[in-house]
Amino acid sequence: MPLVEHLRELRNRLAKAVVAIVVVMIVAAFYSEQLMQFLAEPVPKCEDLANSDGGNCAIVSFNTLTSPFTTTIKVSLMAGLIISSPVWLYQLWAFIAPGLHKHEKKYTYYFVAAAVPLFVGGAYLSYVILPVSIKVLLSLTPGGSANILSLDEVLDFTIRMVLVFGLAFELPLLLIMLNMVGIVSGRRMMGWWRGVVMGVFVFGAVATPTTDPVGMIALSGPIVVLYFVAVAFSLLNDKRRARRESAGPDDDEASQLDLTPESIAAAEPVAALPEQATKDRVNGYDDVT
């Protein structure tokens, strides 16, 4: 396909993805109030300022005149991106798939099938830990002070935690992808386990600002387990790759070319042109011509 056709197809794919996002975004705008209540649910609410002394609870409100509008747009856009993700992910896949080998397409199906539940599991875990994290942060409020939180900031904090947990659960899948393309071997990943475990627990302590180790272990424990699952898979995949390479290339893969130069002396002599059998010319040409 020429470059212009590729650009035209990319434009059509992007247009379909944007239309899907905009349609879902418009529909989500009618349910923006319910979405805001769902995202702000982990924050303990106070009836009035008198009950918010000491950080036991907080009052969630809009602090500026344009906050209701901007928050509604933000929540609707987030819902549009998430709910319409099957459509725009398919458009992305349909644009990339023609350039992949048969086995690469098969692996892509597996990656997508594993990425979705991993992200959903991380997002659900973050929503479970959010109430504990928010209570710990509110408990740092000194006596005589009240917590009046902006709904926009609460939603930003909630969305950030959901994205951090969801993407953190994709780390083992990323390592498997790197192993599948031959960038990282399973043996090398196995040698990283001490640093990875330490880094994961440090990340869990920062991402879950609680005074008890429950939140840190709730995030770090599953990631460490998934990391060792990725290491085991990579070790098995390395053995499978070694057996496949010894058996030769697949049908849709090119074989390795021998580019070693050959000496002129070793080359077979080229047969000389046959001598002319006669000197006669037919229509001005001899038999060799």
The pLDDT tens digits for 3-35 are 778 788 888 888 988 998 899 999 988 888 888
As a whole number, mean pLDDT of residues 268-273 equals 56
| pLDDT at 116 > cutoff 60 | yes
What are the two backbone dihedrals, phi and then psi, of residue 207, each rounded to the nearest 5 degrees?
-75, -25
In whole angstroms, how far apart are CA 66 and each of 32, 62, 71? 15, 9, 9
Q: What percent of the residues of the chain are helix, what percent strand, and what percent coil, each to the nearest 5? A: 65, 5, 30
Tell me what the mean pLDDT of segment 260-288 comes to: 60
pLDDT at res. 23: 92
**pLDDT exceeds cutoff 80 at 62:** no
How does the average pLDDT of the chain come out, rounded?
76
**Full-model pTM:** 0.66
pLDDT value, residue 51: 62
Using a pLDDT cut of 70, give the percent of the chain over it. Answer: 77
- The token duo for 273 is 């042109």
